[in-house]
């Protein structure tokens, strides 16, 4: 009883914006625990179903397809900021036009990308580009087309998550993802005992994730989000410019982030082969549990910062930043080091005997996550208040340098070398963005520091 009352006081303490954040953090933690458990079950099940080499190829294929998410030209993040600002002043009509227009543009983009890819796909030598073993008898062209088709559907359907986040309710988006992942796990368990393991069958199972978002869209837009639900009569393409004013900068930042992070799999497969990609990704997936927990906490703050900045509530912003920084220090210097000590045991009980993760790879990933989470902290604040130019310039520089540096380091030190290239980029970016954040909080940001 005392524990329940204490938890209730903790949640309800503070003003409305803070209470909403606390509720979403707690709900998201509970949902993510289940999602993580499902994801960790899916990884070994998938590896056993299609083999480590095919799983590595699958990871590379999905990484490449993920690149197409950046064809939104930053509009998802632009919608997130514009919608949050409109809702801050209860401008429902404007909010509905932002949502409807973004859905229309995303549909046009998804159809265009799929048609273009379908035309050029037969002429791409995927086997050579992905370093696929010649003995693997899979139709990579068909797999790429099906994966992209699935992605295009999800590309549109996942806008629901953006709308929920803008309304400071990210936990509901997390719940939809949970249902989608649970459906994938059930499908894999059934397929494992009925159909021989192929990449094409695996792709078919993973189409259940966007299906969950489609079903959820009908549910939410028909009820709680009915006021801002997309409609043909609310589509106003003149609003595209307003979304792209912020979203255009986000687009180039996303491209930089893509080059910085998503090219790792391509570098690794070309230097060390698909199996090394599997080792890299299972290590990343394990350590991403820590980052997931941190992201659950900081995720509601993006739109909350937008709301507070629009209302000039600078006292709340400064207090929130200081709390998040203290949390990051605890995670970086206590939680992750303890977690590293436990990873050898976790890998032993989690992964098949065919996979062996070296301690050097584990510690490299630990440092990677420390730096990456710090970058997320700084970027969520700056993204929320729309101060993006310094971040944009940094991504331009590091994206140019990171690939050649990753190739050189990868040849010298293997997978750990590729990770080191990322870590060095993260450190430089964190120093600069930390300084910018401090200048803004102290009201001393001028010139590029304030744009």
Q: Could you tell me the end-to-end alpha-carbon distance of the chain, in angstroms, rounded to an integer?
A: 50
Q: Is 281 exposed, middle or buried (0-12, 13-18, 19+ CB in 10 A)?
A: buried
pLDDT surpasses 80 at 351: no
What is the pLDDT confidence band of residue 7, given thresholds at 50, 70 and 90?
very low
Q: Is the pLDDT of residue 114 over 60?
A: yes
Residue 421 has pLDDT above 90, yes or no: yes
pLDDT at 14: 55
Distance, in Å, from the CA atom of 395 to the CA atom of 257, rounded to the nearest integer, reads 7
Nearest to 292 by CA among 81, 61, 38: 38
Residue 402 pLDDT level (bands cut at 50, 70, 90): confident
SS3 content of the chain, % helix, strand, coil (to 5): 85, 0, 15
State the average pLDDT over residues 369-386. 90
Residues 6+ apart with CB under 8 A from 268: 276, 277, 280, 410, 415, 418
Angle (CA) 375-389-322 rounded to 5° is 40
Residue 103 pLDDT > 70, yes or no? yes
Q: Mean of the per-residue pLDDT values for the chain?
A: 82
Q: Summarize pLDDT for 211-264 with one digit per residue, the tens.
A: 888 889 898 888 888 888 888 888 988 888 777 776 667 777 877 877 777 778
Tokens representing 230 are 């997309």
Cβ-count burial 285-309 (b if 16+ within 10 Å, e if not) = bbbbbbbbbbbbbbbbbbbbbbbbb
pTM reported for the whole predicted model: 0.68
Treating both helix axes as pointing N-terminal to C-terminal, what angle do 264-272 and 389-413 enclose, rounded to 10 degrees? 10
Length of the chain: 451
pLDDT in tens, 307-322: 888 878 888 889 989 9
Task: Give the distance from CA 87 to its chain's centroid.
Answer: 24
Give the pLDDT confidence score for residue 314 in this predicted structure: 86
């Amino acid at each position: 009883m005392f524990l329940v009352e204490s938890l209730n006081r903790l949640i309800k303490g503070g003003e409305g914006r803070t209470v909403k954040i606390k509720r979403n953090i707690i709900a998201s933690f509970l949902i993510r625990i289940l999602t993580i458990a499902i994801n960790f079950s899916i990884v070994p099940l998938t590896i056993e179903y299609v083999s480590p080499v095919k799983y590595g190829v699958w990871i590379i294929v999905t990484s490449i397809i993920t690149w197409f998410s950046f064809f939104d030209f930053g509009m998802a993040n632009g919608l997130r900021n514009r919608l949050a600002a409109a809702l801050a002043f209860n401008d429902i009509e404007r909010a509905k036009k932002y949502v409807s227009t973004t859905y229309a543009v995303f549909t046009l983009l998804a159809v265009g990308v799929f048609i273009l890819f379908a035309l050029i796909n037969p002429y791409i030598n995927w086997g050579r580009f992905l370093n696929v073993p010649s003995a693997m008898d899979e139709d990579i062209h068909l797999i790429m087309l099906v994966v992209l088709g699935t992605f295009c559907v999800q590309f549109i359907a996942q806008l629901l998550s953006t709308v929920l986040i803008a309304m400071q309710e990210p936990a509901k988006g997390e719940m939809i993802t949970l249902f989608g992942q649970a459906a994938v796990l059930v499908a894999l368990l059934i397929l494992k005992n009925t159909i021989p393991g192929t990449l094409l069958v695996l792709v078919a199972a993973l189409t259940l994730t966007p299906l969950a978002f489609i079903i959820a869209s009908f549910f939410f837009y028909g009820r709680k989000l009915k006021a801002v639900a997309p409609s043909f009569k609310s589509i106003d393409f003149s609003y595209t410019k307003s979304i792209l004013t912020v979203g255009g900068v986000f687009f180039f930042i996303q491209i930089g982030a893509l080059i910085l992070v998503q090219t790792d799999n391509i570098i690794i497969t070309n230097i060390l082969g698909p199996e090394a990609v599997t080792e890299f990704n299972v290590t990343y997936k394990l350590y991403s549990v820590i980052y997931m927990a941190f992201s659950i906490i900081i995720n509601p703050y993006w739109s909350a910062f937008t709301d507070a900045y629009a209302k000039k509530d600078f006292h709340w912003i400064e207090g929130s930043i200081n709390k998040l920084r203290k949390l990051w220090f605890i995670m970086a210097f206590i939680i992750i080091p303890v977690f590293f000590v436990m990873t050898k045991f976790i890998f032993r009980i989690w992964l098949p005997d065919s996979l062996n993760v070296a301690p050097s790879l584990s510690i490299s990933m630990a440092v990677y996550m420390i730096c990456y989470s710090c970058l997320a902290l700084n970027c969520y604040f700056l993204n929320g208040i729309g101060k993006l130019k310094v971040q944009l310039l940094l991504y331009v520089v590091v994206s140019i340098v990171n690939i050649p540096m990753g190739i050189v380091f990868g040849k010298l030190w293997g997978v750990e070398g590729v990770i080191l290239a990322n870590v060095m980029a993260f450190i430089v970016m964190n120093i600069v963005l930390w300084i910018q954040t401090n200048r803004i909080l102290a009201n001393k940001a001028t010139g590029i520091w304030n744009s």
